[in-house]
Structure 1
Amino acid sequence: MKIFETAYLGPLTLRNRVIKAATFEGRTPEALVTDELIDFHRAVAAGGAAMTTVAYCASSPEGRTDRHQIWMRPEAVAGLTRLTETVHAEGAAISAQIGHAGPVANSKSNRATALASSWQISPLSMRLTRTASASDLDRIVADHARAARIAVQSGFDAVELHFGHNYLVSSFLSPALNRRSDQFGGSLENRARVARAVASAVRAEVGTEIAVTAKLNMDDGVPGGFWLDESLQVAQWLESDGSLDALELTAGSSLKNPMYLFRGDVPLRDFAASFPQPQRAGIRMVGSKFLRAYPYKEAYLLEQARQFRSAVDLPLILLGGISTRETMDLAMTEGFEFVAMARALLREPDLINKMQKEEVTSSLCIHCNRCMPTIYSGTRCVLVNEGA
């Protein structure tokens, strides 16, 4: 199995095995598609990736991390259709990352109370989240199905369900965040109910019209959080439910340990500059306690991810530290069907074309992570803008 061979994902035929991973684009100020968002994904599609992922398409208005993100509603369809048609014209497929941010939602920005598996103080808004009730969860599960239908109507080829990073579904999976004693808390079976319900509802809604994948945490990177042994079991349950065409394996907590996913440099100065005072001064003083540094290495999630390869038969998408042809080939050798790339494609949207033509074997990305603070002003590689 080679990285540039034709690949199959559920009902999809893809031109190769490289997926542009979801990275919030920061190009939807009115929570609707813009020309800038279309140009962002057109570049990735024209650059050779098999499929690009639009992030973030919230299932519910209160499920956005802030009010500038798309939420899936009829008013969004016209713009989303322009987006999908543009990507298709470049020969690529397009996926919508749908989910509910839960405790990662900024309730102040959204002007709506953030929901979580259990109440806590949100570090984003410094406000209390509300414990999601059973009726809230019924509505949110239905919202995911409705969002998937809107994705179909808009011409998307796939949806990616966000079960990671301590967003709502992930907050239920995490023992550190889920302190419930009802049917959604306690045992792993109970904590996995929301994930399984969302995936099943989406599959029931779209059938085989589009592919359905999920981004699942292997490890929250938080003491007492969701960990590998439980994640393996959840993956096996999702496989047995028959609701998914593939799993993308991720790690980390946007609430408590975001750099656990990204690895590499921590651009505290750039993060601070993205905020007004007094937040700017606060980030400079204590930001290192939240944005903890982890060394970068190629394929840094592989050791954990290969355990899923031996536990499930589902196609798996390897994420994390993939920026060379050697790593991509290693993923294929290890039995992964796809690789997902983010920072490398921000640096060079045409990287896949250049690799396929054997012009280069590695990305120019140096994992400085200075792209991360740009999510507030249009996600991009600052080195390109600086002429580096």
Structure 2
Amino acid sequence: MSDPVPDVLAPAKLGPVTLRNRIIKAATYEGLSRDGLVTDELIGFHVRHAAGGVGMTTVAYCAVSPDGRTDRRQIQWTDRALPGLRRLTDAVHHEGAAVSAQIGHAGPVADPRSNRVPAIGPARRFNPLGGGFTRAATKADLERVVRAHGRAAAMAIEAGFDAVEVHLGHNYLASAFLSPRLNRRTDEYGGPLENRARLARDIARAVRDAAGDRIAVIAKLNMDDGVPGGFGLDEAVRVARWIERDGSVDALELTAGSSLLNPMYLFRGEAPLREFAAVMPPPIRLGVRLVGGRFLRGYPYEDGYLLPQARQVRAAVSMPLIALGGITNRRVMDRAMRDGFQFVAMARALLREPDLINRIKEDADTGSLCIHCNKCMPTIYRGTRCVLVEQPA
């Protein structure tokens, strides 16, 4: 007999942690940290989602080293950051939710001009964010990054987090190494998939070694970069099997797209070109207006749009999986549960309505008001929000 379909609103175990339900607020860069530190506004952001009913909220993005930030405002794992992170986890726990920290290294997605340190990647390449070149990472760089992930996991435990989410997607550093388009190296980190996956697997194992069974370990893994010659589903299935065999994570969250080359492949829906241009400095603003459509390409939206790809990973592994992409209502949540996923992750729908889960509990037919206009995306520079609703003071 097949296992019963889980109730998405019932408590569930994620590694050593019990969540009050199977719904996770996905990592959405909040744009609310300052000088690498937590702010009251960042705490309020996550408290709203915790009070709104999610089982766990995810703090994004917490860089493992200074050169791993996409910009210098972002939280990084330092002793200075710990008191604020502890205030944040305490506040979320007070609302009855768990809290995860997304940890990672941005690699070629980092902005070296903002960070004031060079960006690193699989190879030297022009970095449009900083107007210079990303430096090819040395073996010593990569070993440093692996150790930094382990330290981040240990600090997350000290700060009171229930889980960490290791960022292996979106062509951040580990994902860039997975990509045959970006990784043309000929050393032990390049060439066949086993070599290109070395960094991702080493990072996940370092995090598990540091975390033990004290907190849950999640990895966010690309299924498809969404660019020709990039990392795709067939290779993602193989990497998922290796990670399962390594025993390094408690669950995989399945994602897609490249922050470096094709971000809309993850988000789907309209591409907010005009809104992105409006928040950019004048030279970049003109470029966005003239050629931004080549980078920000709109894709048709439908509920559960990543499920067809994710089902192929589901068929290949037995470990818990988190479904992401167009999770907006109880109907699509239940579809994911029937398809064998253990958890679902939501982002834009909760930006529009942080209390959506509480309302779904009251009425299973409750629909999301999110229209997938993606105008929330450019707000990351001044505080991530839905532009269609008035924000709390």
Q: How does 1:109-188 map to 2 (within 5 A)?
A: 109-188=114-193
- Tell me whether 1:71 sits opposite 2:73 in the alignment: no
SS at 2:86 equivalent: helix
Judge conservation of contact 1:116–1:171 (CA < 8 Å) in 2: yes
Contact 2:385/2:391 (8 A) holds in 1: no
Residue-pair matches, total:
387
Find the aligned partners of 2:142 and 2:216 in 1 and give their Cα distance. 24
Q: In structure 1, the residue corresponding to 2:389 is in which secondary structure?
A: helix
The answer on 1:264 being equivalent to 2:269 is yes
1:246 and 2:239 aligned:
no
Q: Distance in 2 between matches of 1:93 and 1:37?
A: 16
Aligned to 2:354: 349
Structure 1 unaligned blocks of 5 or more: none
Shift, 1:315, TM fit: 0.3
Quote the Cα distance in structure 2 between the aligned partners of 1:16 and 1:29: 31
Answer whether contact 1:46 1:350 (CA < 8 A) is retained: yes
Equivalent residue, structure 2, for 1:301: 306
Partner in structure 1 of residue 334 of structure 2 = 329
1:219 aligns with 2:211: no
Contact 1:354/1:360 (8 A) holds in 2: no
**C-alpha separation in 2, matches of 1:360 and 1:151:** 37
The answer as to whether partners of 2:69 and 2:76 remain within 8 angstroms in 1 is yes
- Letter matched to residue 327 of structure 1: V
Structure 2 unaligned blocks of 5 or more: 1-5
Q: Is the 8 A contact 1:148 1:202 kept in 2?
A: yes
Deviates more, 1:122-131 or 1:192-201: 122-131
Query: Which aligned pairs between 1:14-53 and structure 2 lie closer than 5 A?
Result: 14-53=19-58
Q: Secondary structure at the match of 1:52?
A: strand
Q: How much has 1:360 moved relative to structure 2?
A: 5.0
* Offset from partner CA, 1:277-296 (integer Å, 9 cap, x none): 12212211111111011010
| Residue of structure 2 equivalent to 1:290 | 295
1-structure distance, mates of 2:227, 2:174: 16
2:12 to 7, 24, 32: 7
Worse overlay, 185-194 or 270-279: 270-279
Q: Partner of 1:278: helix, strand, or coil?
A: helix
* Preserved contact between residue 61 and residue 71 of structure 1 (Cα < 8 Å): yes
In the alignment, what sits opposite 2:89? 84
Residue type of the alignment partner of 2:298: A
Q: Give the distance between the partners of 1:150 and 1:374, measured in 2 at CA.
A: 29
Shift of 1:126: 2.1
Residues 285, 140 of structure 1: alpha-carbon distance in 2 compared, 3 angstrom cutoff: same
Aligned equivalents of 1:123, 1:281: Cα separation in 2? 14
TM-score (norm 1): 0.98
> Partner amino acid for 1:270?
E
Q: What is aligned with 1:375?
A: 380
* TM superposition shift of 1:310: 0.9
Distance in 1 between residues matched to 2:372 and 2:390, nearest whole Å:
16
CA RMSD of aligned residues (A): 1.0
Q: Which moved more, 1:274-283 or 1:34-43?
A: 274-283
Cα deviations by residue, 1:11-52 (Å, 9 ceiling, x for unpaired): 000110100000000001221000000000000000000000
Give the equivalent residue in structure 2 for 1:190: 195
Identical counterparts, % of pairs: 64
- Residue deviations 1:240-264 (CA, integer Å, cap 9, x gap): 0000000000000001000000000
How many Å separate the matches in 2 of 1:337 and 1:178? 33
- Residues in 1 aligned to 2:315 and 2:302: alpha-carbon distance in whole angstroms: 23
Runs of 4 or more, structure 1, over 4 Å off, are none
CA distance in 2, matches of 1:204, 1:267: 41
Q: Aligned partners of 1:336 and 1:200: how far apart in 2?
A: 23
Cα deviation 1:165-191 (Å, max 9, x = unaligned) = 000000000000001000000010000
- Per-residue deviation, residues 184-208 of structure 1 (Å, max 9, x unmatched): 0001000000011000011011100
Q: Which residue of 2 aligns with 1:363?
A: 368
Aligned partner of residue 161 in structure 1, secondary structure: strand
